């Protein structure tokens, strides 16, 4: 496995929390951060593939019908914009 270095600057509170979790897991902070980044990359790539499959051959313009025909009413309670 080839490795690349990357200077990472974290807020002190995030670094301290990550260091604590790394100690609890019995790994170095570097290993813990590498694992956390790999986990996030996997989740994002999985989500991207899921949405790509769900979209199928749909194009953004295909959704205009839904927007044009949406009801003009107040949002359901709890769905309001802040």
The DSSP call for residue 2 is -
Residues 37 and 31: their CA atoms lie apart, in Å, by: 10
Q: Tell me the pLDDT band of 61, cut-offs 50, 70 and 90.
A: confident
User: Is the pTM of the predicted complex or chain greater than 0.85?
Assistant: no
- 81 Cβ contact list (under 8 Å, min separation 6): 75
Q: How confident is the model at residue 67 (pLDDT cuts 50, 70, 90)?
A: confident
Q: Mean pLDDT across the stretch 24-49? A: 94
Is the pLDDT assigned to residue 11 strictly greater than 90? yes
Q: Quote the percentage of the chain above a pLDDT of 90.
A: 50
Q: Has residue 76 got a pLDDT over 90?
A: no
pLDDT at residue 29, rounded to an integer:
97
Q: Does some domain include residue 29?
A: yes
* Residue 2 covered by a domain: no
82 assigned to some structural domain: no
Domain count, the chain: 1
Show the domain range for 46: 12-68
Residue 5: inside a domain: no
How far is Cα 70 from Cα 66, in angstroms, rounded to an integer? 6
The 10 Å CB-count burial string (b at 16+, else e) for 44-66 is: eeeeeeeeeeeeeeeeeeeeeee
Examine the pLDDT at 59 and tell me if it is beyond 90: no
């Amino acid at each position: 496995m080839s490795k690349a270095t990357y200077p990472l600057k974290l807020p002190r509170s995030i670094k301290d929390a990550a260091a604590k979790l790394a100690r609890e897991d019995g790994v170095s902070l570097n290993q813990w951060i590498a694992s956390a980044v790999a986990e996030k990359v996997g989740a994002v790539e999985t989500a991207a593939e899921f949405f790509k499959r769900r979209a199928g051959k749909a194009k953004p313009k295909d959704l205009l019908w839904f927007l044009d025909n949406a009801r003009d009413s107040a949002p359901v309670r709890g769905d309001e914009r802040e």
